[in-house]
Structure 1
Amino acid sequence: MSELSSTFALPDSAAAIALAGSDGTALRRLEALTGTQIVLRGLDLQIRGRSSQVERLQALIQLLEPLWQRGEPIGPVDIQAALTALDTGRSDQHRSMGLQVLATSVSGRPLRPRTLRQNSYVEAIERHDLTLAIGPAGTGKTFLATILAVRMLQERKVERLVLTRPAVEAGERLGFLPGDLQQKVDPYLRPLYDALHGLLGQERTSQLLEKGVIEVAPLAFMRGRTLADAFVILDEAQNTTCAQMRMVLTRLGENSRMVVTGDTTQIDLPPGQLSGLVEAEQVLAGVEGVAICRFSDADVVRHPLVQRLVQAYARRDARPPAPAARKRTDGTTARSEP
């Protein structure tokens, strides 16, 4: 089949830099995924390949247009998400997602959903009083919820934010922690502070914490309360017991919204204890006003290696367990047959 040459003109240098990446990594990835050859000369993308390959690349570049038009760097997640949308006939949804900017970070970076599942998650939070987000680390479950919480606070749709998580150690025994009560629980809540600092800045976050507009507290502090006019985020919910989950869900008061996030592959509860998140996913399926959003490794938006790590562990978890050892009558050990 004969090759086709085509030129795609970019509007300005910011768009060219955004699409190519500082070291050309994005272009190399586009080449690998479409089988084309791409050369950037000035503001012109010169493309060579079979006609079907060139058309596919042009469609992909057009899907990414909302990003490079803003001069926003194109990452591997953005390219893969656009390609998936193209292959599944969801280009229109992906294009509208690219136009959506939820907020701007303190460093000036636009914050937005980057995959179609993330976009569905944002829509679910906006439409439901209770949203459960379940999936692997790095899929933006907590960060997107925090963005929407801060936005609702700034728009005066809620009066306060309540961010909580169970104080469960991730496989380590930290022992006694010095300081007052807040200092003792702060290490468990650090990821929530990090998200707030990225959105509001450290100074503004501190001011809102001092005024009580934002409350970051361990789950034990929720008992007996009614959380009205609030946006509540329960993070790391896989480490709640069934009783804790039931307790916190029933704290929801008038004009409030709650988002529960967790990864059921990273449960740190004692062996044999059922996770409250696992139970809630089963019990609340189909309940009016409740949305359940499930993420996969394709939605990981951290370092590209994180996605590969999640996939590797998922493959390991899917393998059948090794045969157990059994004792022979002569005292030696033998493997049980599968």
Structure 2
Amino acid sequence: MPDRDDHGRFVLDLPDPEAALAVAGEAESNLHRLEALTGASLVLRGLQLVISGRASQIERAASVVELVRPIWQDGQVISLVDLQSAINALNTGRSNDHAAMAEHILVRSQRGSILRPRTLRQKKYVDDMEGHDLTFALGPAGTGKTFLAVVLAVRMLTERKVERLILTRPAVEAGERLGFLPGDLQQKVDPYLRPLYDALHFLLGCERTSVLLEKGVIEVAPLAYMRGRTLDNAFVILDEAQNTTSAQMRMVLTRLGERSRMVVTGDVTQVDLPKGQLSGLLEASNVLNGVAGIAVCHLTSADVVRHQLVQRIVEAYARRDG
């Protein structure tokens, strides 16, 4: 913890300008957020962070700064999600769990960014994927369901724990409107698979991703391509699974082969199937919950890691629908 000075303030010496910038945030936005969250006053003076206020406010603000220390020590950007997650951990008595989460580095991106879980539920999701052959992840947009699955898949491929990655999702417009798009079926559904390509490009870079796609080490394909196959020694990600039918879900789940792992992600509040048709994701997550080797992970609006407005949008629609 930081040391108190003669005025009763906490003073934290930061190691370098990069850490100071990470703590302060752009235009000192993190300091303003911490002041709003804790009631303390935070001032950055060179490489010293000075925290003042009532004793309880100082303690709370200093604790948050310490909980996100692994992030700013590396000069990584601290987001509002990181600060709010640390506050939630303090409020629920899970500071030790949060500290362990912050130390959990998943991988470095192509640009050198350190990727780690951002919330305790994201950490549980990663643990579920690492410890189970089949994991269902249900939650709203922006909670990292797909991205974290791709991160773990790329890491396992790099570590040679699997020989290939297979990323798939249903093309819910595989009927009339899709037919008017130019090209073969793969080209028609590529727009639906773009989020998976984006994640791969971020982690591996465009050039390496293209090479691995050409070699067949990474396959990004519509769900229809999975029928009749056995997916051995692979990490399989089924994305946007809320738009699978019951039959499609059963089909893809039974493709899982030896030495393989599968992650199924989706948001059951955004089902695009015809009205009255049951989502295969909702059915499977209920039917298979509690089966040995299978994990069902639920993420919430508190785990949204996109723009802070996304969290508010998700919560607003949840209130309307609730």
Q: Is the pair's TM-score, using the shorter chain for normalization, greater than 0.5? A: yes
- Residue identity opposite 1:259 in structure 2: V
Structure 1: distance between partners of 2:49 and 2:157: 43
2:127 to 108, 123, 144: 123
**Counterpart position of 2:223:** 219
Q: Per-residue displacement from partner, 1:298-327 (whole Å, max 9, x unpaired)?
A: 000011110010001001111xxxxxxxxx
**TM-fit CA distance, 1:181:** 2.7
Structure 1: distance between partners of 2:299 and 2:278: 21
Q: Please tell me whether Structure 1 or Structure 2 has the larger radius of gyration of its CA atoms.
A: 1
Secondary structure at the residue paired with 1:271?
A: coil
Verify the 8 A CA contact 1:138 1:302 in the aligned structure 2.
yes
- Residue identity opposite 2:309 in structure 1: L
Q: Which runs of 5+ in 2 are unaligned?
A: 1-6
Which stretch shows the higher mean deviation, 47-56 or 126-135?
A: 47-56
Structure 2: distance between partners of 1:156 and 1:51: 51
How many matched pairs? 315
Which stretch shows the higher mean deviation, 65-74 or 173-182?
A: 173-182
Structure 1: distance between partners of 2:67 and 2:43: 19
**Counterpart position of 1:57:** 61
**Counterpart position of 2:3:** none
1:92 aligns with 2:96: yes
1:103 to 98, 102, 107: 107
Verify the 8 A CA contact 2:193 2:220 in the aligned structure 1.
yes
Secondary structure at the residue paired with 1:24?
A: helix
- Residue identity opposite 1:137 in structure 2: A
2:142 to 119, 138, 145: 138
**TM-fit CA distance, 1:74:** 1.0
Secondary structure at the residue paired with 1:108?
A: coil
**Counterpart position of 1:323:** none
Structure 1: distance between partners of 2:309 and 2:50: 30
1:310 to 308, 311, 314: 314
- Residue identity opposite 1:260 in structure 2: V
Alignment of 1:1-338 (within 5 A): 4-169=8-173, 173-318=177-322
TM-score by length of 2: 0.95
Q: Per-residue displacement from partner, 1:207-232 (whole Å, max 9, x unpaired)?
A: 11111111111111111111000000
**TM-fit CA distance, 1:140:** 0.3
Structure 1: distance between partners of 2:181 and 2:10: 64
- Residue identity opposite 1:314 in structure 2: A
Q: Per-residue displacement from partner, 1:114-162 (whole Å, max 9, x unpaired)?
A: 0000011111101000000000000000000001101111111111111
Secondary structure at the residue paired with 1:23?
A: helix
- Residue identity opposite 1:138 in structure 2: G
**TM-fit CA distance, 1:174:** 5.0
Secondary structure at the residue paired with 1:195?
A: helix
Structure 2: distance between partners of 1:22 and 1:192: 29
TM-score by length of 1: 0.91
Structure 1: distance between partners of 2:34 and 2:173: 42
Secondary structure at the residue paired with 1:156?
A: coil
Q: Which runs of 5+ in 1 are unaligned?
A: 319-338
Q: Among the aligned pairs, what percent are the same residue?
A: 70
- Residue identity opposite 2:127 in structure 1: E
**TM-fit CA distance, 1:8:** 2.2
Q: Per-residue displacement from partner, 1:237-263 (whole Å, max 9, x unpaired)?
A: 000000000000000000000000000
Structure 2: distance between partners of 1:294 and 1:24: 33
**TM-fit CA distance, 1:43:** 1.4
Taking only aligned residues, the RMSD between alpha carbons, in angstroms, comes to 1.4
Structure 2: distance between partners of 1:62 and 1:131: 32
Structure 2: distance between partners of 1:202 and 1:43: 37
